[in-house]
Structure 1
Amino acid sequence: MTAAVPPALRAQRRRRAARTAAFLSPWLIGFSVFFLYPLGATAYYSFTHYDLINPPVWVGLRNWRYVFGDYPYLGQALRNTLWLVAIMVPLRVLFGLGVGLVAVRLRRGANLFRTLCYLPFLAPPVAATIAFVFLLNPATGPVDQLLDGIGIGTVGWFNDPDWSKPGLTLLAVWGIGDLMVIFVAALVDVPREQYEAAALDGAGPWQRFRYVTWPAITPIVLFAVVTGVIQTMQYYTQAMVAGKVASGIVGGPGQSFEPGYPQGSTLTLPQLVYESGFSTFDTGVAAVLSLILFAIAMAATALLLRRRAGFLGPD
């Protein structure tokens, strides 16, 4: 039989719980207002017909059946988004780590090198994308002129469905200043004594990286991969701007643009969400697409966190 809890102890526990709740209240309020409520509202609207003007009308699973059965762009947008996650995220992490390794090993000009590598990250996404589209223009861009001059030939880049996603990947790799800063901080924090001990044991550069550097920066690599997956699942601005500029659409009265140029190769799930919600005003379909995007991002994050030992080595 369980002994009764003294009233004084119960009062102490209540005071402790109230004090804890008071300290947690800013986070609880923010979580409820900016995450829990929008998520619940999105789930509700996915079962309604809502055009942002008239009150929502309950339609049950009609939006879900339409998206998974008749929506013509879901498969292509999902494939493009997953392609960017599978290719863009690893390349950004690898290049960011490589640039970070170079930055911490430079004896002279290290500050200048870090500044030059970080500057592209500061460029506004729209301006950087427009510049890349012009640089990679197959007719007038200097990159294709250089490739043609050395005998490789021109590449369609953002006008070719086979090269548009690699072009976006090059743009993402160019702006790796954020990852470089993170990796530089992690690499500087690795104890120098471990490198000296490994060198005394006869370890070469690769062995020192494999058995000293890599275990020390594994949490940072995991952080970079997880945040990269989440950011790439929300990839919108660069793909939209690249498609518009490459197609000759710059906006204005009387101009229409179908996202995904060329031939749907740059179409991503966030673009579908925006088009459904704010172009065709079909909020129910946009809510379904948002929940699909959220579920995929959560599943990928949970998989990475659960299998971190297998992906990145032992804890």
Structure 2
Amino acid sequence: MTITMERPPGRSAAPPPPGRRRPLRSRRDNLAGYLFLSPWLLGFFLIIGGPMVASLYLSFTDYSVLGTPEWAGTDNYERMLTDDPRFWASLTVTLTYLLASVPLVQVFALFLASLLNRGIGGLTFYRAVFYVPSLIGGSVAIAILWRFLFEGDGLLNNALGSVGVDTSHSWIGTPDTALGTLVVLNVWQFGAAMIIYLAGLRQIPAELYESASVDGAGRARRYWSITLPLLSPVIFFNVLMNTVGAFQAFNTAYIVSNGTGGPADSTLFYTLYLYQRGFVDFEMGYASALGWALLVLVAAAAAGLFALSRRVVFYGDER
């Protein structure tokens, strides 16, 4: 007599024991994945990770590039905070540049994106024209052109002189106006932020504006109550990226000031001062300490923006 055991209803058969080839196949898949990732992993450890670890070590040493690093403990950081007025000057210049240029970039970019979003003709042409400065604005050629534009006998003074305005001083040679010329250059490169704003504006449903119009909301009210809240994640992204970019600004200040940060350290950006210490004075240990201090500053600024975003950034899925 044969006894047949039936499975209880609702239960599936037990899975078959794993075959011998499955672990081998899994290892092969993992190996293939790491093989495809190897260019990125090599680039990270050789170009980013390795130099970061080396610079962290050098920041605690007295290293002149030509000699052997000598352990100095926290001397570089103590010198930076207590006995280096140019460090504080460079930090002040950088923060002034950041606080002046980042908001202006957002205002210009959002204003023009709002105009282009109204359905004007030739949208593709205008997008390309406004985006071009973002592509070439950080180049050495544009920095040299900017210097020619704002020198004492530059194009700006010649143009003002042709209409009877007597301006003989150099805009980039006067401490009160030198940093302002670099702020104008950064604002001129608003095209990338404008494209992002335009993409965000085109994602806002038109039905929301129609419903608000039916309820009697005017254009200003619709912009304040609908556009800005729904665009706040895009605004946050642009502000964050422009803030990080402002901390890293270097090319324009180096070219305009001939690498000095002048006049009177008025264009001495933090990165330019770091470059002077490391590659002009050959104080690579101190320059490494400046680099890690910059990393802490950027991280603190990003953390502050993320903390603020919890209150001012609106996401559509929030309840």
Show the counterpart of 2:212: 198
Q: Any residues of structure 2 matched to 1:161-180 within 5 Å, and which?
A: 161-180=175-194
Show the counterpart of 1:70: 83
In the TM superposition, what whole-angstrom CA distance separates every residue of 1:68-99 from its partner, at most 9, and x where no partner exists? 23224111101000101111111111111111
Question: In 2, distance between residues paired with 1:125 and 1:153?
Answer: 31
Show the counterpart of 1:293: 294
Judged with a 3 Å threshold, the aligned counterparts in structure 2 of structure 1 residues 183 and 54 are, in CA distance, closer, same or farther, namely same
Question: In 2, distance between residues paired with 1:106 and 1:153?
Answer: 43
Question: In 1, distance between residues paired with 2:37 and 2:124?
Answer: 42
Is 1:49 the counterpart of 2:62? The answer is yes
Question: In 2, distance between residues paired with 1:187 and 1:29?
Answer: 40
C-alpha displacement at 1:175, in angstroms?
1.4
Question: In 2, distance between residues paired with 1:286 and 1:156?
Answer: 32
Question: In 1, distance between residues paired with 2:277 and 2:48?
Answer: 21
Check the 8 A contact 2:233/2:313 in 1, yes or no: no
In the TM superposition, what whole-angstrom CA distance separates every residue of 1:205-241 from its partner, at most 9, and x where no partner exists? 1111111111221111111111111111011101111
Show the counterpart of 1:271: 272
Show the counterpart of 1:247: none
Q: Any residues of structure 2 matched to 1:179-258 within 5 Å, and which?
A: 179-244=193-258
Structure 2 regions of 5+ residues with no counterpart?
Answer: 1-16, 18-22
Structure 1 regions of 5+ residues with no counterpart?
Answer: 1-7, 245-256
Of 122-131 and 170-179, more deviation after overlay is shown by 122-131
Check the 8 A contact 2:109/2:190 in 1, yes or no: yes
Question: In 2, distance between residues paired with 1:50 and 1:132?
Answer: 36
Show the counterpart of 1:120: 133
Judged with a 3 Å threshold, the aligned counterparts in structure 2 of structure 1 residues 153 and 292 are, in CA distance, closer, same or farther, namely farther
Question: In 2, distance between residues paired with 1:305 and 1:152?
Answer: 47
Show the counterpart of 1:252: none
Show the counterpart of 2:123: 110
Is 1:305 the counterpart of 2:318? The answer is no
Check the 8 A contact 2:60/2:74 in 1, yes or no: yes
Judged with a 3 Å threshold, the aligned counterparts in structure 2 of structure 1 residues 62 and 147 are, in CA distance, closer, same or farther, namely same
Could you tell me which amino acid in structure 2 is paired with residue 263 of structure 1? A
Identity of counterpart residues, as a percentage?
30
Is 1:134 the counterpart of 2:148? The answer is yes
Question: In 2, distance between residues paired with 1:49 and 1:313?
Answer: 45
In the TM superposition, what whole-angstrom CA distance separates every residue of 1:140-192 from its partner, at most 9, and x where no partner exists? 33323444555665364211111111111111111111111111111111111
Check the 8 A contact 2:232/2:313 in 1, yes or no: yes
Aligned residues: 288
- Secondary structure at the aligned position of 1:158 is classed as coil
Show the counterpart of 2:4: none
In the TM superposition, what whole-angstrom CA distance separates every residue of 1:22-74 from its partner, at most 9, and x where no partner exists? 68976777655554443332221111122223332111122222222322411
Could you tell me which amino acid in structure 2 is paired with residue 228 of structure 1? N
Check the 8 A contact 2:233/2:314 in 1, yes or no: no
Give 1 or 2 for the bigger CA radius of gyration.
Answer: 2
Question: In 2, distance between residues paired with 1:53 and 1:77?
Answer: 26
Show the counterpart of 2:262: 261
